[in-house]
Amino acid sequence: MSLPLLLFFFQFLSPSLQQFPRPCTTPDVLRSKRCCPVWPGDGSVCGSLSGRGFCQDVTVSDLPNGPQYPHSGLDDREQWPLVFYNQTCQCAGNYMGFDCGECKFGYFGANCGERRESVRKNIFQLSVSERQRFISYLNLAKTTVSPDYMIVTGVYSQMNNGSTPMFTNISVYDLFVWMHYYVSRDALLGGPGNVWADIDFAHESAAFLPWHRVYLLFWEHEIRKLTGDFNFAIPYWDWRDAQDCQVCTDELMGARSPLNPNLISPSSVFSSWKVICSQPEDYNQREVLCDGSPEGPLLRNPGNHDPNRVPRLPTSADVESVLSLTEYETGLMDRSANMSFRNALEGFASPETGLAVTGQSLMHNSLHVFMNGSMSSVQGSANDPIFLLHHAFIDSIFEQWLRRHQPPRTHYPTANAPIGHNDGFYMVPFIPLYRNGDYFLSTKALGYEYAYLQDPSQRFVQEFLTPYLEQARQIWRWLLAAGILGAAVVGIIAAIITVACHRRTRRRKSSAYGERQPLLNSSEEEGSTSYQTTL
């Protein structure tokens, strides 16, 4: 087979699964390390009879990592996903999913042939019904057990080579909370409290932006499946120049409780939410993983944080300064990187100078600290639904940078980044498999757009015209009824006036013959005609 043909063949194939599919949590699958479920649509493995995909060996990158994590063979995530699976479904064309039964991001329809662009809008530009729908979707996801995925509650070495699986059910929303915990948790080295903290497969290096991009896309995808609303798109919060938590109202993400400033208002549905994966020190001491158990109420006390750590929220000027940085990664490609767009946007470098700082949390990090609650701890931050609005806006800034500088893929590091962040590394804990470098590209290629990045005409339609049309769509029956009723009333009035005019004319004629009254002068006739015409 020729080299060009080989390249075309591998581009045609697309990775397929996400986090621990339910069919791949059995002893047989774990012992065989073969996660290739049958697609119910045709009864074949990976939908192979329908040309959707096939079962294939997983090959991981062997390029060197940076010096930040000096260990090897101690953590299940090191060569993701080989500890758990070495064969998975590889999907062809526009197909996706753990059995190739779904569509890639941006594609829809029974055969995934319909290309459609979703638009993520400012949450304050949503209509009332759209806001209510978003809140109800969040709560539905929080209270619905995921039908497709489970979470792992122990390390593989505790599973007796797969014979004793350690998985449990999780709600659709909490699945994503757990994923964010798992990707950023400390490495357990053996013994109570013996951990390696300087490890994170989704933060503090190059994969920060691509990983969270896929995370949001996957979350959006699961909400669409759950609700059947395939027009759903995550809204964003544009926090530039904000002085307080603008989304912290009972109509949106929940106001502050008048009874306890650390809690959510009882008038908000989020006041009843329980958090998970919020006690990393306890897990480390007990040498266990978060198992998804409830651990208390959602906490948030925006603005009552350490002002020395976060003096203010980011401004428009801060965002513009960060966007002016031309290099994606520099130096050791970690939190010490200078003049790195990624490090400045993540919040470990000054937006004004581009130089790494210590003791302060800036840009992305500043919002987490400002919320002063569940969102302020990296591993448990996704418990707060504001996380989604915040990261959608961070993703939009990433998109602005990509469009402004149009970097080639070679700008993304292929080697020597901290473990988990090289171009060819598969994102933890998606199974399988999204490579970091594959998502170092525009949202246009992934089927979505941000309203404020559209051209002016499209932006007018999305931000101003669409909300009014949406409200009209909601009340069109009332408008129609009102129109019909109005037409009927006008018709009745017109009929009454017409009858009255005819009777008046007849009286004039009869009095002209009987009493010889003078005719109305021309000005009176014109006035009468004018009045009737106006009416």
Peptide bond into 311 cis (omega under 30): no
Residue 296 is predicted with a pLDDT of 97
Residue 535 is predicted with a pLDDT of 22
Residue 431 is predicted with a pLDDT of 81
List the structure tokens of 224: 């669409």
List the structure tokens of 43: 């009864």
List the structure tokens of 45: 């493995």
Residue 54 is predicted with a pLDDT of 95
Residue 265 is predicted with a pLDDT of 98
Q: What is the 3-state secondary structure (H, E, C) of 456-514?
A: HHHHHHHHHHHHHHHHHHHCHHHHHHHHHHHHHHHHHHHHHHHHHHHHHHHHHHHHHHH
Strand duo 118-120 + 448-450: pairing? parallel
Residue 355 is predicted with a pLDDT of 98
* Residues in CB range of 185: below 8 A, 6 or more apart: 280, 283, 289, 290, 379
From CA 341, how far away is CA 401, in angstroms rounded? 9
pTM of the full structure? 0.84
From CA 32, how far away is CA 49, in angstroms rounded? 23
**Do 327 and 333 contact (CB within 8 A), yes or no?**
no
Q: What is the DSSP letter of 12?
A: H
DSSP H or E segment with residue 238: none
Side chain identity, residue 113: G
* Residues in CB range of 89: below 8 A, 6 or more apart: 16, 17, 35, 36, 37, 45, 46, 53, 54, 55, 56, 97, 98, 99, 100
Tens place of pLDDT per residue across the chain (535 aa): 443 444 334 333 443 344 799 999 999 999 999 999 999 999 999 999 999 999 999 999 999 999 999 999 999 999 999 999 999 999 999 999 999 999 999 999 999 999 999 999 999 999 999 999 999 999 999 999 999 999 999 999 999 999 999 999 999 999 999 999 999 999 999 999 999 999 999 999 999 999 999 999 999 999 999 999 999 999 999 999 999 999 999 999 999 999 999 999 999 999 999 999 999 999 999 999 999 999 999 999 999 999 999 999 999 999 999 999 999 999 999 999 999 999 999 999 999 999 999 999 999 999 999 999 999 999 999 999 999 999 999 999 999 999 999 999 999 999 999 999 999 999 999 986 899 999 999 999 999 999 999 988 655 555 556 555 656 555 657 666 666 777 777 778 777 777 666 666 555 554 444 443 333 333 333 333 332 223 2
Residue 527 is predicted with a pLDDT of 39
The CATH label, of 1.20.1730.10, 1.10.1280.10, 1.10.1060.10, 3.40.50.10860, for the domain at 23-466 is 1.10.1280.10
From CA 307, how far away is CA 382, in angstroms rounded? 23
